[in-house]
Amino acid sequence: MRRSILIGLAFGAGAVHLAVVGVLLMLYQRSIIVGTLSLGQAVLLVIAGGAGAMAGRPLPGLVAGAAASVPIAVLAAVMSFVPLQSIFIALSPALYDMLTLELGLAAGIGVLIGAGAVAGLFGAALRSSPTAVRRAIFPGAIAVAIAGVFQELIQLMLQQYEDSIGDFREFIYTWEGLSPQGAVAIFVVVGLCSEVIGSVWRRRAARIQVHDHRRERMIWAGLALLVLVLLPALAGSYIGQVLMLVGLYILMGMGLNLEVGLAGLLDLGFVAFFAVGAYTTALLTADAPHALAHLSYWAAMPVSVLLSVGVGVLFGLPVLGVRGDYLAVATMGLGEIVRVIVQSDFAAPLLGGAQGILQIPKPQLGSFVLGSPVSLFYLTLVASAVAAFVAWRLENSRLGRAWMALRDDEDVAQALGINLVRSKLLAYGLGAAFAGLAGSIFATMITSVYPSSFQLLISINVLALIIVGGMGSLPGVVLGSIVLIGLPELLREFGEYRYLFYGAVLIVMMRLRPEGLWPSDVRQRELHAADETLALDAGADAVPAQPR
């Protein structure tokens, strides 16, 4: 009993954090089902349900769920007596109304704790229920959440085909969001589908005996790629813009992946290469006083990439002998130096200082200008595809194996005859090439470059996405960019909270799943081999993976 109360209180503390930071109110303003359930309420329920599931059996689950609502109820009570908004800007009357459901304090708290208890009970029941039930409920609930949260986008997409599926749209959506009957329909349909597909899949898997993970994954990756290619053309320029950003981060992620994931060199100054690529393109093409030339974009792009490689090698040379965590700080210092110089008056005659460089033209193919976000997205896609091919070949090459040896143990690698200097410089240089390419496209996308676009935050973003995806794994990079860049971009109001989310993601991933969501095969094998012996690996994988 004490354990379940403690679990509940810990989860509740998390809920209070969300409330105080302001996330809860923001989520509250996004509804899932119009007039019935908001995203904020859903999150509170999920927190209580999670506490219940963690507590285990039904009765402790009930207690844990109720306990998870207590901290937030206390917060509501405190808010009703003390005006806190002058210090904590998020604790507004609107939040108070949300927490108490506009029922007044006593009734509101009662409902909160009651709902928490029910959710906790449900969570506990779900945990002990057979897989078949869970396989239907989870995908169904997720589908409803997606359909509700992104209703604006989905409706916009559906409206393009209004005459053929207009009735369908009106059944599911009202003009302001998901309708209750639509939610039930989606839940039932997706739940049933997942049930059927799941059981078919399992029967097949049992028949084939050896489950072919590789092929299964290839199919999924192929599907995802198809969606990526077709979606922007079908869905319009907003999605195109989001996906274009995702594509740029995929490019950078693949670059950093060579350095961190394969070679084990934790580089926090990665944004500098991105900046070099962007500024080179700007200086070579812009219609501005600082420009050195007025080349076409296609001439400027290779120069940008080459220059980035040069800077990468230059970057790598002095820090060759620096290892591990010192390397992280040293590269971060290098990145900051680049930013300080670009921003200063000292370099202003060349680089434009804080005002940046404006009027970078869009690339042209013959007479066709790649001006719209969708066409630029396809440019990014092609660049990413080429880069992915290069990265994939590198990974399986002699050099790639040398990098992995380097990552696992530098001294042993050297003893085995691997040229440390060459391998490390190649890692920096090639990683920089990817970032330079991304920077070059970025410059033409926003048609201007400012030093403030190249903050350390970008390095951290890229690091976060390869960690979420799985270090050293190419599909992981794609997955990580979609989850960490695409999703927050779609939930526009989420913008300012995304770094909070990144911070939490870094901590949680390192603790629970250091190999990432889509680990590379090599990593996976290493981690499973390491289940018994303590992995003394230079990567993130020293925590043994949970057996699956």
Q: Can you tell me the distance from the alpha carbon of 521 to that of 249, in angstroms, rounded to the nearest whole number?
A: 23
- Return the exposure string of 145-168: e unless at least 16 CB atoms fall within 10 Å of the residue's CB, then b: bebbbbbeebbebbeeeeeeeeee
For the CB of residue 63, give the shortest distance to other proteins in the complex, in Å: 23
For the CB of residue 188, give the shortest distance to other proteins in the complex, in Å: 38
What are the structure tokens assigned to 486, written together?
Answer: 């695409």
Residue closer to other proteins, measured from CB, 72 or 235: 72
SS3 sequence, 201-265?
HHHHHHHHCCCCHHHHHHHHHHHHHHHHHHHHHHHCHHHHHHHHHHHHHHHHHHHHHHHHHHCCC
For the CB of residue 445, give the shortest distance to other proteins in the complex, in Å: 25
For the CB of residue 56, give the shortest distance to other proteins in the complex, in Å: 22
For the CB of residue 10, give the shortest distance to other proteins in the complex, in Å: 10
**337 and 456 Cβ atoms separated by less than 8 Å:** no
The dihedral sign for the CA sequence 509, 513, 518, 521: positive
Beta bridge partners of 173: 178
Residue closer to other proteins, measured from CB, 79 or 463: 463
Residue closer to other proteins, measured from CB, 210 or 536: 536
Residue closer to other proteins, measured from CB, 362 or 528: 528
Residue closer to other proteins, measured from CB, 21 or 522: 21
For the CB of residue 29, give the shortest distance to other proteins in the complex, in Å: 15
Residue closer to other proteins, measured from CB, 22 or 108: 22
Residue closer to other proteins, measured from CB, 163 or 411: 411
For the CB of residue 468, give the shortest distance to other proteins in the complex, in Å: 11
Quote the distance between the C-alpha of residue 67 and its chain's center.
31
Residue closer to other proteins, measured from CB, 184 or 542: 542
For the CB of residue 255, give the shortest distance to other proteins in the complex, in Å: 18
For the CB of residue 460, give the shortest distance to other proteins in the complex, in Å: 7
What are the structure tokens assigned to 545, written together?
Answer: 């993976």
398 exposed, middle or buried (CB, 10 Å; 0-12, 13-18, 19+)? Answer: exposed
Tell me which DSSP letter residue 449 carries. Answer: B
For 409-451, where are the alpha helices, taking DSSP H only?
Answer: 410-415, 420-446
For the CB of residue 385, give the shortest distance to other proteins in the complex, in Å: 29
Residues 6+ apart with CB under 8 A from 360: 281, 282, 285, 286, 287, 443, 444, 447, 448, 449
**332 and 338 Cβ atoms separated by less than 8 Å:** no
At which residue do the structure tokens 């085909």 appear? 161
The dihedral sign for the CA sequence 414, 420, 423, 428: positive
**449 and 356 Cβ atoms separated by less than 8 Å:** yes
Residue closer to other proteins, measured from CB, 136 or 540: 540
Residue closer to other proteins, measured from CB, 10 or 291: 10
Compute the half-sphere exposure of residue 498: CA atoms within 13 Å on the CB side of its CA. 21
**474 and 391 Cβ atoms separated by less than 8 Å:** yes
What are the structure tokens assigned to 435, written together?
Answer: 């970032």
- Return the exposure string of 247-278: e unless at least 16 CB atoms fall within 10 Å of the residue's CB, then b: bbbbbbbbbbbbbbbbbbbbbbbbbbbbbbbb
Instruction: Tell me which residue of 271, 248, 230, 243 sits closest to 489, measured CA to CA.
Output: 243
| DSSP letter for each residue of 314-365 | HHHTTTTT--HHHHHHHHHHHHHHHHHHHHSSSSHHHH-GGG-B--PPPPEE
For the CB of residue 337, give the shortest distance to other proteins in the complex, in Å: 5
| DSSP letter for each residue of 114-143 | HHHHHHHHHHHHHHHS-HHHHHHHHHHHHH
Residue closer to other proteins, measured from CB, 200 or 507: 507
For the CB of residue 497, give the shortest distance to other proteins in the complex, in Å: 7
Helix, strand, coil percentages for the chain (3-state, nearest 5): 75, 5, 25
For the CB of residue 68, give the shortest distance to other proteins in the complex, in Å: 17
Residue closer to other proteins, measured from CB, 405 or 540: 540
Binding site for other proteins (CB under 8 A): 17, 20-23, 87-90, 260, 264, 266, 268, 317-326, 328-330, 332-334, 336-337, 340-341, 343-346, 419, 421-422, 456, 460, 463, 467, 496-497, 499-500, 502-507, 510-511, 514, 534, 536-543
CA of 150: how far to CAs of 41, 186, 237, 489, in Å? 17, 14, 16, 12
Residue closer to other proteins, measured from CB, 156 or 329: 329
Residue closer to other proteins, measured from CB, 103 or 340: 340
For the CB of residue 126, give the shortest distance to other proteins in the complex, in Å: 27
